[in-house]
Amino acid sequence: MDKTASGWMNGFLGMLIFSGSLPATRVAVAAFDPVFLTVARAGIAGLLGLALLLVFRQKRPERGDLISLAVVAFGVVVGFPLLTALALKHITAAHSVVFVALLPLSTAIFGVLRGGERPRPAFWLFSGFGALLVAGFALVRGTGASPVGDLLMFAAIIVCGLGYAEGGRLSRKLGGWQVISWALVLSLPVMAPLALATMPSTWADVGQSAWMGLAYVSLFSMLIGFVFWYRGLAQGGIAAVGQLQLLQPFFGLVLAATLLHEPVGWPMVAVATAVVLCVVGAKRFARPSNAVLSR
């Protein structure tokens, strides 16, 4: 399997894992405060990342890499988890997953700014049309909508796209799992004390489903998913592989409907179907001119 095909495969596995993030967060915030959930998931994943780095004896990043790792931490360790947790206090998981269709465009823009990629003009046509579909859906405000929740989700998509692009760029040098592990370790001195300071006064009201949600976002959303995702971005190109996020609403809607019994109306399905058609066109024109093979 060549690097490009491997990149798409790794990216697909990462996307599949991320599909459960918003439904799991929705379950967890029913019992946990959004701030505690954010710092707890980062703290747990940070300890696991530190263990991986020590077991495999990875050398420390160079000083010049620390700023990039801080950007990754800001985008995907703190920004996206916190903003989505706050948003899911106002909207349903089914409504929130449609916003994920904006991630490819956000990631591609930052891939150009930070990764030096140059997709062809037709790529922006397809990606932009998909983004307009999602923006129109948000303005119409379908099932489970809230202006506050929508704004928080838009902000989450922006910072997540930045974290994805920066991590994908840095993964060409450090490796995929190393990037997310170092970003988690970098944030650990802040996240661990905050988790202790914001922990619930009692655990009696925390049900099994909330614990399962916390476990999922800590292990899979915060660490394991990024092992595949960052490697996929590094191998196949940030803008190109990033288009796989357009498929995530389908999986997220299925999970929201089957596990959380949330209503999924036909407008959500229609928008999800339309943006998936956009990925077919965007993929054809997303190949960057300077694709770099990762380790």
Determine the Cα–Cα distance for residues 19 and 69; give it in Å rounded to an integer: 24
Confidence category of residue 218, pLDDT binned at 50, 70, 90: very high
| 212: containing domain | 3-285
Residue 295 lies in a domain: no
Secondary structure string (H, E, C) spanning 138-184: HHHCCCCCCHHHHHHHHHHHHHHHHHHHHHHHHHHHHCHHHHHHHHH
CA distance 282 to 119: 9
Q: Model confidence over 93-107: pLDDT tens digits? A: 877 877 887 888 899
Cβ-contact 152, 87 below 8 angstroms: yes
What does the alpha-carbon distance between residue 121 and residue 107 come to, in Å, rounded to a whole number?
16
CB 232 within 8 A of CB 11: yes
Domain count, the chain: 1
Residue 107, domain member (yes or no): yes
Q: What is the mean pLDDT of the chain?
A: 87
In a domain, 292, yes or no: no
Q: Is the pLDDT of residue 159 over 70?
A: yes
pLDDT in tens, 237-266: 898 888 888 778 778 778 878 887 877 777
**Domain membership flag for residue 221:** yes
What DSSP state is assigned to residue 237?
-
Q: Of all residues in the chain, what percent carry a pLDDT higher than 90? A: 56
User: Which position has the higher pLDDT, 6 or 102?
Assistant: 6
Phi then psi for residue 206, to 5 deg, are -90, 115
Residue 213 has pLDDT above 90, yes or no: yes
By the 8 A CB rule, do 75 and 166 touch? yes
Contact status, residue 127 vs residue 278, Cβ threshold 8 Å: yes
User: According to the model, what pLDDT value does residue 287 have?
Assistant: 63
For residue 142, is pLDDT > 60? no
The residue among 55, 148, 135, 52 whose CA lies nearest residue 101 is: 135
Whole-angstrom distance, CA of residue 280 vs CA of residue 265: 24
Ramachandran sector of residue 63 (left: φ over 0; alpha: ψ -120 to 50; beta: rest): alpha
Q: pLDDT tens digits, residue range 59-74?
A: 999 999 999 999 999 9
Which of 228 and 294 is assigned the larger pLDDT?
Answer: 228
Residue 294 counted as domain residue: no
Q: In the prediction, which pLDDT does 293 show?
A: 38
Highest mean pLDDT among 104-113, 134-143, 163-172: 163-172
